[in-house]
Amino acid sequence: MSTYVLVPGAWLGGRSWQPVADQLRDHGHDVHAVTLTGLGDRSDLATPEVDLDTYVSDVAGLIETEGLDDVVLVGHSYAGHVVTGVADRIPDRIALLAYLDAGPSPDGAAFMDLQPPEARELIERLVEEAGQGWQVPMPSWEELEGVMGASLEGLGPDERARMRAGATAQPLRTWTQPLSLRGRAPEELPKLLITCSIPLAQVRQMIDSGHPWFAALAGPSWSFLELPTGHWPMFSVPGRLASLLAGLEVPGRGHADDPVGR
């Protein structure tokens, strides 16, 4: 059996993983779905001082406090930024670092820096108009897809309602504080990209062409899987996502049960 730590993307709490986590637990796995400070059912802890370091400490602290080892650490979307920092801080605890429709962030980059200009302009406007100057509200569906470039495939009215009900504004400093890496994560730490809204063939083409956003994925420590759906697979295809995660080959543990998606 494997130990999974699931970190949600922007605006969402740990409950966004519930159907996925429940299915993994049904297979006997140990699952920890993280709610980051100020989000979800911890929204009362939101302050202007909450930043990226807070989030890295949330996840690293949970792993250390619970005494977790050989962790499959999964970061969705924005949380790719977070799990990169966690793996740098406690690499010996991580067996597999998985990016779900996300990617590794370079040292010294803030998440806001990685957004295209039109997306940065949208976020800055939302912060000023609806975020009291220090919070990033979740954009409208039209803005998420048309400006942020996030695919809504698979999100019908029910899925959208559940996702919106669990979303909370996110402290701005979690977007604007640069990631500070200490170089502790070894290059050979196994890493996995699970691509959902971008075809894997396109990702491989970008890697081969030396595209700067994908250059970091070229090393031998990387593997790839494809789960075709929109940008939020925990809502659009939770059963398929759970089966894919359950079937991962975790270094040191061999194959998990029901190896789907390889």
Nearest Cα to 5, choosing from 30, 25, 27, 22? 30
- Which residues are paired to 72 by β-bridges? 4, 96
Rounded distance, CA 161 to CA 159, Å? Answer: 5
CA distance 131 to 134: 6
Q: Which of 82, 112, 91, 92 is nearest to 6 (CA)?
A: 82
Q: Spell 56-88 as b/e; 16+ CB within 10 A means b.
A: bbbbbebbeeeebeebbbbbbbbbbbbbbbbbb
> Exposed (0-12), middle (13-18) or buried (19+): which is 246, by Cβ within 10 Å?
buried
Residue numbers annotated as active site: 77
Q: d(Cα 94, Cα 210) in Å, to the nearest integer? A: 28
Q: Whole-angstrom Cα distance, residue 47 to residue 10?
A: 16
